[in-house]
Copies of this chain bind each other. A is one copy, B any other.
Amino acid sequence: MIRKSPNEQSKLFNKKLVLQCIRTYQPISRAEIAGKLNFSKPTVSILVDELVQENWIHERGIGESSSQGGRRPIQLYFNEKAAYVIGVDIGGTKVKVAISDLSGNIICLRAFNTKKHLEQLMKMLYGEIFDMMEQSQIAEESVLGMGVGVPGIVETETGVVLEAPSLNWIRYPFLTESERYFSFPVYVDNDVNVAVLGEQWLGSAQKKDNVLFIAVGTGIGSGIIIHNQLYRGASYAAGEIGYLVTDKNDMKKEFKPIFHRYGYLESVAGGKAIGEKLTMAIREERNHPLYNDAITSELTGKQAFLLASEGDKIALQIVENALEHLAYGIINAASLLNPEVVILDGGVMKSADFILPRLQKIVQPYLPSSVGIHQSELGENAGVLGAISLFLREYDSILNAPNFC
């Protein structure tokens, strides 16, 4: 007769705790784990032995005994090569794909053009990924799954992308589509949410339970971690910091709220808006060195910040106005959320040296001194690493994987 254990999840739960403990405190001994988790020594021994059997951890070497003597401890290490995870960062211009080990070390990285393969995106993704796996000699069985960041609103429970303007997706059933190609589990979320998870895993927000991540790109978006959990909002609309109103009178004059998916703050401080304003301004200045560029095409937010930091007066004025709005946006958001850190990221942050001090000067008097404002640390690979982090989070524990040894 098959009998269910008296609490199926219970042992697995404790095993996960032991693994988590080894992962964070490695190298660590069985005795130390027992102390930290308040488990008995035999329990730890059994769980550790199973974890070793399953190849999630390794015994390697022995530590020093304390000054008072005693048997020397056996060092346990997490086996970061026990399995691999795939991270995908779908952007408006390019799609980045990475395979990493369980510690976020990137094994293989590729990118392809979004627009060129938009019609066959999932197929292209499939091809690239299996090519990468072959190239890196990673077997399909050792791939736990995949995390994906998408520039739009994602219904995470169903994996449907409700809206992603830059990809022309409306109600695109990402998960259903991906299941036609991939046998491993896949998780999708908004790109900013993915980014803040990445920052908390490997970047500026490590060990922080309450994080506000602001991305200033074309528009302005934010990702919120509260109580160590991603907060997506009641209808996937939390963190719409681009919708903040920092000057209601100016807003009533200049802004039409009928625009869907475009808020006031982005209309005055978003990269696109800054670029447009700069373009317009320079078109009226025949002597400006960029006059011709401005006539032929639009200038970008990035260029505006670059010019400003070089001392260009027109750019400086536009940029400082935008920064002031952004600063009050941060003040508003931080007043409500009281995070431990505010992390800034996005295209315009290339000029962080110019931006951060100016923001800080305005923001500082209004916030508790404990709130730090920092730049994103992950840089280029933030997107894919965040996607990998999303997978690891949602998957809850690598221990859910079928044993593969």
Chain A positions near chain B (C-beta within 8 angstroms): 2-7, 10-11, 13-14, 17, 37-39, 209-210, 222, 224, 226-227, 229, 231-241, 243-250, 257-258, 263, 324-325, 328, 331-333, 335-340, 365-366, 368, 370-371
Residue contact A338 to B7, C-beta cutoff 8 Å: no
Task: Determine whether the beta carbon of A234 is less than 8 Å from that of B339.
Answer: yes
Q: Nearest chain-B residue to A341 (Cβ)?
A: B234
| Chain B residues positioned under 8 Å from A6 (CB to CB) | 5-6
CB distance from A369 to the nearest CB of B (A): 9
- In the complex, A240→B332 CA distance in Å? 9
Nearest opposing residue in chain B for A246, CB measure:
B248
Note all chain B residues with C-beta closer than 8 A to A10: 3-5, 7, 10
Pairwise interchain contact A226-B235, C-beta atoms closer than 8 A: no
A338 with B229, Cβ < 8 A, contacts A4-B10, A39-B4, A257-B366 known: no
Most buried by B among A233, A241, A340: A233
Closest to A234 in B: B340
The CA of A357 and the CA of B290, in the complex, are separated in Å by 51
The docked-state distance in angstroms from the alpha carbon of A244 to that of B330 is 10
Q: List 28 A-B contacts (CB under 8 A).
A: A2-B37, A3-B10, A4-B39, A5-B10, A7-B10, A210-B234, A224-B336, A226-B231, A227-B227, A227-B231, A233-B337, A233-B339, A237-B338, A238-B337, A239-B338, A241-B336, A243-B332, A244-B332, A244-B335, A244-B336, A246-B246, A247-B249, A248-B324, A249-B249, A249-B250, A258-B365, A332-B332, A336-B337
- Which B residues touch A14, using CB under 8 A? 2-5
User: Inside 8 A of A39's CB, which chain B residues have their CB?
Assistant: 4
Contact check, A235 vs B336: say whether CB atoms are below 8 A apart.
no
Q: Give the complex CA separation of A227 and B249 in angstroms.
A: 35
Q: A238-B337, A241-B335, A243-B331 are in contact. List 8 more A-B contacts (CB 8 A).
A: A7-B10, A226-B227, A227-B229, A227-B231, A233-B339, A245-B332, A258-B365, A332-B332
Report the copy number of this chain in the oligomer.
Answer: 2
The 8 Å CB contact of A335, one of B17, B232, B240, B339, is: B240
Report the minimum CB–CB distance from A52 to chain B (whole Å): 22
Nearest B-chain residue to A238, judged by Cβ: B338
- In the complex, chain B residues whose CB is within 8 Å of the CB of A13: 3
- List the B residue with the shortest CB-CB distance to A237: B338
A159 to B342: give the CA distance in the assembly, Å: 28
In the complex, are the beta carbons of A338 and B17 less than 8 A apart? no
Rounded to whole angstroms, the CA-CA distance of A39 and B3 in the bound complex is 11
Q: Name the contact of A210 in the complex, choosing from B11, B233, B331 (C-beta under 8 A).
A: B233
Which chain B residue lies CB-closest to A325? B248
- The answer to whether B338 and A234 touch across the interface, beta carbons within 8 angstroms, is yes
For residue A229, which residues in chain B have a CB less than 8 angstroms away from its CB? 227
Q: Give min CB distance, A50 to chain B, whole Å.
A: 15
Q: Does the CB pair B248–A336 fall under 8 Å? A: no
Name, among A7, A39, A245, A368, the residue most crowded by chain B CB atoms within 10 Å (CB to CB).
A245
Closest to A231 in B: B226
By beta carbon, the residue of chain B nearest A222 is B336
A2-B226 Cα distance, complex, nearest whole Å:
21
Q: Given A38-B2, A247-B247, A234 and B370 touching (CB < 8 A)? A: yes
Closest residue of chain B to A327 (Cβ to Cβ) is B248
B residues less than 8 Å from A244 (CB atoms): 332, 335-336
- What's the nearest-Cβ distance from chain B to residue A214, in Å? 11
